[in-house]
Structure 1
Amino acid sequence: MDILAIVVTLLIVVLLAKPVGLYLAAAFDYGPNRLNRIYGPFERLIYKIGGIREENQSWKAYAASLVVSNAVMIFVVYLVFRFQGMLPLNPSGIAGMEPSLAFNTAISFMTNTNLQHYSGESGLSYFSQATGILFMMFVSPATGIALVMAFIRGLTGRAPGSFFADLIRAVTRVLLPVAFVSALLFVFMGVPQTFEPAATATTLEGAQQTIARGPVASFLAIKELGNNGGGFFGVNSAHPFENPNGLSNLLQLLLMLLVTTSLPYAYGKMAGRIKQGRILFVSMLVMFIVMTGISLSVEQAGNPALNALGVEHGQGSMEGKEDRFGTAQSAFYSVVTTASETGAVNTMHDTLTPLGGLIPLANMMLNTVFGGAGVGFLNVLMYAIIAVFLSGLMVGRTPEFLGRKIEGKEMKLIAVTLLVQPFLILVPTAIALATNPETISNPGFHGLTQALYEFTSSAANNGSGFEGLGDATTFWNVSTGIVMFLGRYISMVTLLAVAGSLAAKKTVPESSGTFRTDTAMFGAVFVGVVLIVGALTFFPAVVLGPVAEYLTL
């Protein structure tokens, strides 16, 4: 039954991908269409209030608008967190955040990471949740979606567009409508939505119990849809108020994958290469299914040592998992949340088996299966360009992508992008292991994985963590904050530069020697490049962590 539920979930995802992708392509089309007539009047009002002009920017202006506006938002929300004790909507009297924690949290949510070094229900007031966290949960994924649309336009020889217009369209046409409907569905399923303070109840034993609550349903909807992942409660979607039952769990899985799986079809439509978009979608889907299969098999097999003692009897490891979801749905959720770079959890990843914990790590390191809102597909297109470039070198021909030659300038920018993530993951991990061993709860191979997972999650803007790590310290707050910021914005700028460079080139007519990118052969080359270039970069670290732990069981 569990496997059937997973198959049904994947089938729904596949069926939704194309129509949602075509909708996205229409939503970001600057030409006259039905969506512009529907949303245009409301958006023009926002443009007028904000002084925004819907005009094309250069890639440099687009990048500057993106980075500067995001930086300003980080600063404003940082101040909200620091002074929340003096602001309204704080019935529990929560004090202002400590400076390094406020720094980490503001960057975390603006970079679409949502790494939380605080407990959701006790770390933030309702005002901070509603005006800080919820605000960033909309503008952060909207930034990623806007970016990938600008990148696609550049690949096809067009101007990037207007960042602020794209940002507003992502909110008004995609995130806000779906999140509104989803929030109502979550309320129907039993998720709280209130500004009342925590409730006090008397238990059957006569003891007094404080029950945290708040505007959870609205928070939860955009948390999953925008690939944000931060929990209103400390235990995230393992909390019964944040994930009451199997139906709410299904909706969360669908929301996490909705935008990110549809982008290949949006790209195919915008680029006039429907078959190429389909090939990229199928390639990612194959990798996703393989990851899911491995995770399910190792988690349901359980810990070999405990099986030998007769503790688990080979029925799967239930450590750190909710009974209402079981082993299969917990393992599947861990794959979906890291494949979509969401970071929400309905099980504690620290308690996964070594190979079960390796799959989320691999998803974040690759960041292409399917990746987060917008930025994940940006990485997919980057690997697609690398695949074309390597194929061209093998046959002695200047490689072309969408009719434009890929030359040294583009590959240098892509090389920088490829090197940034391993640098931001491996160097800080080594520093943490050398200088802060007391914060790592497990001194063995699992302890290395804890630190590696934290920085991988930060660099990939995922946000999930191995919760045995003592990360509520100045070192972890500052170091992961810096990694999250650099991991987000360096690649955004370099890849926009790639799109700007390609957009300035003349189109080269296709010939018999052109490497076709809409065939199964290209899909195989693409997957090979992702695994060879992406996975082998982190192979030594993975061997020292989860693989070594597995071999010692």
Structure 2
Amino acid sequence: MGNAILQFLIVLLLLFMIAIPLGKYLFLAFSREKTKLDRFFSPVENFIYRVGGIKNVDETGWQKYALTLLFANATLLGISYLVLRLQTFLPLNPGKIDNMEPTLSFNTVVSFMTNTNLQHYSGESGLSILSQMIFITMMMFTSAATGLAVAMAIIRALATKGKTIGNFYRDYVRANVRVLLPLAIIVTLLLVALGVPQTLDSSTTVTTLEGKTQTLALGPVASLESIKHLGTNGGGFFGVNSAHPFENPNALSTVLEILSMWCIPAALPFAYGRMVKNRKQGWVLFGTILAIFLVLLAVVYCAEQAGNPALNKLGFSTAQGSMEGKEVRFGIPLSSLFTTVTTAATTGTVNNMHDTLTPIGGLVPLSLMMLNNVFGGEGVGFVNMLMYAILAVFLAGLMVGRTPEFLGRKIEPREMKLIVIALLVHPLIILVPSAIAFMTPLGTDAISNPGFHGISQVIYEFTSSAANNGSGFEGLGDNTPFWNISTGLVMLLGRYISIIALLAVAGSLTQKQPVPETIGTFRTDNTTFGAILLGTVLIIGALTFFPVLVLGPIAEFLSIR
């Protein structure tokens, strides 16, 4: 226990050392004012605008911002689909990998465009090197940049008195040029130094200790790994993801990957505090998020360290904890931390198989994805927490009989209707498809483990899709037309309905005249508001999914005690 706590504290300390200055950097990178960064990055950005034929980067209202976002994403979807369907005829395919099947191609392009990176295929056998580079790696930048651009646009709308929220192309290019590319170069070099391959060779042949030969898949792994984690993308170059020794060789690379997928989501509250000129409020939001995270981290660690209840019941020794599906080189602490971070930040990359977690251990990643606001994915998760913050202010205002205000703007029925839509869509696109899957052999035939664990497998798949996470209970046989199409549609709805609704909220708030702060104004930068926000998340967010959790992991735990 003491060793695990020390490991957690070291990683948390490193996170603070990165997230606080990175928050300041994000503030400068997306500032409306001229900064020192412009001198270095503006020539690169202007060149991209000229090449892309973008002649106007003036700020717009939320409607044009949303339409531009949808147009850019749809264009990339079409190009990517063609790459997968024609990869046999394209260069850099030394393994002679065939074209991807149509429904799997649809699922894959939607998955990577929505920052989900759900993989119903094995990377080393399903994609050519060209597809890995110009589709997978490219999408990992563009989908992450989309989420980050939306977050900064919404924060900007809350922070300023203007009638516009920004320009999507400018935010999108800045997210790539000023944030993701520089960080990805640094992390790539660090991963190469730690032993992750970076080559255009598709494979190498080695002699084993028994004297036999074995062919090992290779490729530009380090560069994909860097943006996969920094962009909270998930997926992986190899089928077993970050459990593969070429993707994640040792404990140091594990810590680097944890910090990579955690740093930008953790930095956003600090960037927000600077942009709204209220750093205390940024700390309150960060503290609330961190409190939920630490509780769930403790739950998954204790559950895995206690061992598998079924084996305990039979009298087997589980002194080392439940090591099924985990790498010995990581152990219980780093496996538990990786599991919690990857589902909190909705990254989806895994260094252990979530299907083999104990029932209560498996409850944690499910809960984090169902909440979808504990750090969350690249920008979108923090925006979801802001949505809960506005909801908390509204509820508090109702209780004291005042018109609720957030950052000097009144919260009225229009904003609440949009927020309720975003709140309701998330459980609907999880629970309704799950029910349909249980009602048809097309869904139930994929379940590898009958009983309560099979329920968890199905719920996890749709929850991961809706939260744009991408990890899975890999016991589910999900590479079928039914699962490819259904999860593809869930990923699209989970990504774009909430983005459009929250952009609409931001646009509505920009039209309001700021209300001066008075002695009766409900403050949102103290521990009282943090407690109210925490209660709002738990009551509205967590209780929505409690019944289905009882049918899955909780019932499984009770059945094998």
Normalised TM-score (structure 2): 0.97
Deviation, 1:548, is 0.3
> Residue in 2 aligned with 1:539?
546
> Residue in 1 aligned with 2:275?
270
The counterpart of 1:169, out of the listed 143, 162, 174, is 174
Deviation, 1:443, is 1.3
Q: Cα deviations across residues 45-74 of structure 1 (Å, max 9, x unaligned)?
A: 111222222210110000001111101111
> Residue in 2 aligned with 1:445?
452
Matched, 1:154 2:157: yes
> Residue in 2 aligned with 1:518?
525
> Residue in 2 aligned with 1:352?
357
Matched, 1:114 2:137: no
Which amino acid letter does the alignment assign opposite residue 109 of structure 1? F
Deviation, 1:303, is 1.5
Which amino acid letter does the alignment assign opposite residue 347 of structure 1? N
- Pairwise mapping of residues 136-535 of structure 1 onto structure 2 (< 5 A)? 136-156=139-159, 157-158=161-162, 159-435=164-440, 436-535=443-542
> Residue in 1 aligned with 2:92?
89
Q: Is the 8 A contact 1:385 1:401 kept in 2?
A: yes
Q: Name structure 2 gaps, 5 residues minimum.
A: none
Deviation, 1:309, is 2.8
Matched residues, number: 553
Moved more, 457-466 or 64-73: 64-73
> Residue in 2 aligned with 1:67?
70
Deviation, 1:15, is 2.5
Q: Cα deviations across residues 178-237 of structure 1 (Å, max 9, x unaligned)?
A: 100110111111101111121122333343322111100000000000000111000000
Matched residue SS, 1:463: coil
Which amino acid letter does the alignment assign opposite residue 29 of structure 1? S
Q: Is the 8 A contact 1:307 1:314 kept in 2?
A: no
Which amino acid letter does the alignment assign opposite residue 138 of structure 1? F
Matched residue SS, 1:211: strand
Q: Distance in 2 between matches of 1:295 and 1:363?
A: 11
Q: Cα deviations across residues 153-173 of structure 1 (Å, max 9, x unaligned)?
A: 212333211100100000010
Which amino acid letter does the alignment assign opposite residue 441 of structure 1? S
Q: Is the 8 A contact 2:88 2:96 kept in 1?
A: yes
Q: Cα deviations across residues 457-494 of structure 1 (Å, max 9, x unaligned)?
A: 00000000000000010000000000001100000001
Matched residue SS, 1:439: coil
Which amino acid letter does the alignment assign opposite residue 109 of structure 2? A
Matched residue SS, 2:459: helix
Which amino acid letter does the alignment assign opposite residue 201 of structure 1? V
Deviation, 1:16, is 2.0
Moved more, 301-310 or 452-461: 301-310
Cα RMSD (Å):
0.9
Q: Distance in 1 between matches of 2:319 and 2:308?
A: 8
Q: Distance in 2 between matches of 1:459 and 1:466?
A: 15
Q: Distance in 2 between matches of 1:430 and 1:312?
A: 38
Matched residue SS, 1:464: coil
Q: Distance in 2 between matches of 1:311 and 1:256?
A: 37
Q: Is the 8 A contact 2:243 2:351 kept in 1?
A: yes
Identity of aligned residues (%): 60
Q: Is the 8 A contact 2:124 2:217 kept in 1?
A: yes
Matched residue SS, 2:214: strand
Q: Distance in 2 between matches of 1:300 and 1:374?
A: 33
The counterpart of 1:47, out of the listed 46, 49, 62, is 49
Q: Distance in 2 between matches of 1:227 and 1:104?
A: 18
Matched residue SS, 2:542: helix
Deviation, 1:41, is 1.2
Normalised TM-score (structure 1): 0.99
Q: Distance in 1 between matches of 2:42 and 2:307?
A: 54
Q: Distance in 1 between matches of 2:53 and 2:109?
A: 26
Which amino acid letter does the alignment assign opposite residue 508 of structure 1? V
Deviation, 1:420, is 0.4
Matched residue SS, 2:445: helix
Deviation, 1:311, is 2.5
Q: Distance in 2 between matches of 1:327 and 1:128?
A: 35
Matched, 1:550 2:550: no
Q: Distance in 1 between matches of 2:275 and 2:317?
A: 51
Which amino acid letter does the alignment assign opposite residue 452 of structure 1? I
Which amino acid letter does the alignment assign opposite residue 251 of structure 1? L
